[in-house]
Amino acid sequence: MADKILAKDKLAEFIAALQKDKDVFAPKLDNDRLVWAPLEKADDIVWEFSNTEMSPKDFFFPQTECMMHFKNDPKAEDGMIMQAEPELAKERALLNIRPCDAKAFGVLDMIFCQDEMTNDVYWRDKREKTLLIGLACNDPCPTCFCTTVGCGPHNEAGLDVLLVDLGDKLLARPISDKGAKALSALPEAAADDAAKAAELKKAAEDSITQGVGTDKISGAEVLDLFNLPMWDRVHESCLNCGTCTFCCPTCHCFDIQDEVQGEAGRRVRNWDYCMSWLFTVHGTGHNPRHGKKERVRQRFMHKFKYIPLKRGGEIGCVGCGRCVQLCPVNIDVREVVNSMNA
């Protein structure tokens, strides 16, 4: 599919066309914090930003999501029967999502929708009804390490459209059929625009200097990694809070709870995190991951060994660097992975 050009002064038309049948969201500055918010008009778009504070995964996997509801009355005819929640009513478009976050959705697709049996209707419904329009990263942060985990500042995986900021205009590259449809009205790009985009891509990739090595991890035995002496030190300063998992675009664990109030009942799922003692404790009181060390090890082993092992080599991390920035005790995933790889 040929690259298109979207002039910035034509954005208003483009957004209006999207808004005809979609709710459009984009990153927005709110009290010095960059958050995802509904986009009203083209002028509100932020072009210069690193990335949103939290990952946009909650568009597809909300922190609290009602799965079904029921009437809490065993004697009633319709009592205790689970009723499905309504599906997403209107399609959505996420504008200016970063390539790393889009790639993360691809990783999560592999986990939420594996086959007929493992097919998360909540995740899939929202994924199918959302158009992802990415904005390539021309100026990655010092904490970014996407290029070393199979992603990149101009990565296309998971996106429907990739935009590259060329100053007064955007190079719009259709990636999926859905994306091509959204761009159908736009003029084709000239060869030198594509060349400029390629230059920007090269520069952005080159600016990422710190990264992780995973070559030895992929060849190593699980148990050898599991028993590395480094785990005895990595966890020491960890607080076992949920910051790294909650800001992570690929963390996807949840906890299902039934809640009742009089006759009303519902089943909800909430984000859960492997750093918590409660995450693995059994009804007997036994906890297979009883200490900080076991929990910290689990998080890194899951992303860098278990997921690649089960999903054809795909790493469960996209290198967005959020956990590096937000961890209250600065446990840096790059250091941890590099010592796993040593």
**In the bound complex, what is the minimum distance in angstroms from residue 286's beta carbon to another protein?**
14
Q: Which residues bind another protein (CB under 8 A)?
A: 29, 32-34, 48-50, 53-54, 63-64, 66, 69, 139, 141-143, 233, 236-237, 239-243, 245-247, 255, 257, 259-261, 264-266, 268, 270, 273, 276-278, 292, 324-326, 328-332, 334-335
- Nearer of residues 33 and 181 to another protein, judged by Cβ: 33
Distance of closest approach, residue 160 Cβ to another protein, in angstroms: 27
The answer for residues whose C-beta is within 8 angstroms of residue 269's C-beta and 6 or more apart is 64, 65, 67, 254, 255, 256, 257
Cβ closer to another protein: 256 or 309? 256
- Closest distance of CB 207 from another protein, Å: 10
Could you give the strand order of the β-sheet that contains 130-135, starting from the edge strand earlier in sequence? 4-7, 169-174, 161-165, 130-135, 91-97, 22-30, 33-38
Minimum distance, C-beta of residue 325 to another protein, in the bound complex (Å): 6
Q: Is the dihedral of CA 303, 336, 321, 197 positive or negative?
A: negative
The two tokens of residue 29 are 């500055």
CB 24 within 8 A of CB 39: yes
Query: Closer CB to another protein, residue 139 or residue 294?
Result: 139
CB of 329 to another protein, least distance (A): 5
Of the pair 93, 320, the CB lying nearest another protein is at 320
Q: How far is the CB of 187 from another protein (least distance, A)?
A: 31
Ramachandran area for residue 73 (φ above 0: left; ψ -120 to 50: alpha; else beta): beta
Closer CB to another protein, 9 or 259, in the complex: 259
Q: How far apart are the first and last CA of the chain?
A: 42
Q: Could you tell me which residues are beta bridge partners of residue 257?
A: 268
Token output for 265: 């009942």
Residue 68 forms beta bridges with which residues? 84, 267
**DSSP labels, 235-290:** TTT----SHHHHH-SS---EEEEEEEETTEEEEEEEE--TTSHHHH--TTS--SS-
* Closest separation in Å from C-beta 264 to another protein: 5
Q: Which is nearer to another protein, 14 or 273 (CB)?
A: 273
Nearer to another protein, 132 or 247 (CB): 247
* DSSP-assigned beta bridge partners for residue 130: 92
What is the rounded radius of gyration, in angstroms, for the C-alpha atoms of the chain?
A: 22
